Amino acid sequence: MNSLTQIIAIDGPAGAGKSTVARKVAEAMNFAFLDTGAMYRAATWWALEQRIDLDDPVALAEATRSMQLDLNEEEGVLRVRVNGHDITDAIRTPEVTRQIYRLDQNAQVREHLVELQRVFGGRGPTVAEGRDMGTVVFPKARCKVFLDASLDERTRRRAAELAAKGVAIDLDALKAEIHERDEKTRTRAVAPLRRADDAALVDTTRLTIEQAVDAIVHLARTRL
């Protein structure tokens, strides 16, 4: 059996619960976990750090290719390092989140990161989550899931996460920001977010994390 058939591809918009759910599915199945959003975040952090002109697509692609990116699960935390420097927290700042769209629309940046993602997935059974896992990166994956939830519910979850970190939130502004980020991802020319034809839709609006995990594990057991 080709290792690509041992891929669980999970896509969906921001706040649908992808990271949490994908990590738990990986634990339950004893698969590796690949957070591809962390890769786009790391590339954005690196470009900002290197003071690359974000309007220069060629420079962005060169910068992305020049970074030594390392993702490693350590004690339940995905440690992200660039050139040996731990940027696990730094990639989650609002500044990085705001600027990602400049890189994630860049075809050459994507090409490079997609290559790294396929190498990762080729090493063994993997749960890969992002926006284009089922459509672009692992189109032959036998188990594909599109994880979604209503905009209100996704806003509520993000607000709770931010509140837990002590960040003050304006709910309407947060909702508008999530909506805007979704629209950018769904309408971009390269690798737009969409449900692959053969992906199962899992709507988590009224599901607990455990219920979503169970649904995907069940699906994976029948499809893989």
Residues that bind ligand DC (CB under 6 A): 14, 36-37, 40-41, 100, 104, 130-132, 181, 185
Q: Where are the alpha helices (DSSP H) in 1-136?
A: 18-29, 36-49, 57-66, 94-104, 107-122
Minimum CB separation from ligand DC for residue 100, in Å?
Answer: 4
In this structure, the dihedral spanned by the alpha carbons of residues 211, 199, 111 and 93, taken in order and rounded to 10 degrees, is -30
Minimum CB separation from ligand DC for residue 152, in Å?
Answer: 18
Amino acid letter, residue 103: L
Q: Where are the alpha helices (DSSP H) in the chain?
A: 18-29, 36-49, 57-66, 94-104, 107-122, 151-164, 171-187, 209-223
3-state secondary structure of 208: coil
Minimum CB separation from ligand DC for residue 131, in Å?
Answer: 4
Minimum CB separation from ligand DC for residue 19, in Å?
Answer: 7
Q: How many CB atoms lie within 10 A of CB 210?
A: 10
In the complex with ligand DC, the residue whose CB is nearer, 167 or 221, is 167
Whether 188 contacts 131, CB under 8 Å: no
Minimum CB separation from ligand DC for residue 63, in Å?
Answer: 16
In the complex with ligand DC, the residue whose CB is nearer, 37 or 218, is 37
Whether 212 contacts 205, CB under 8 Å: no
Minimum CB separation from ligand DC for residue 137, in Å?
Answer: 7
In the complex with ligand DC, the residue whose CB is nearer, 6 or 36, is 36
In the complex with ligand DC, the residue whose CB is nearer, 52 or 109, is 109
Q: Name the strand (E) or helix (H) holding 68.
A: none
In the complex with ligand DC, the residue whose CB is nearer, 15 or 52, is 15
In the complex with ligand DC, the residue whose CB is nearer, 5 or 99, is 99
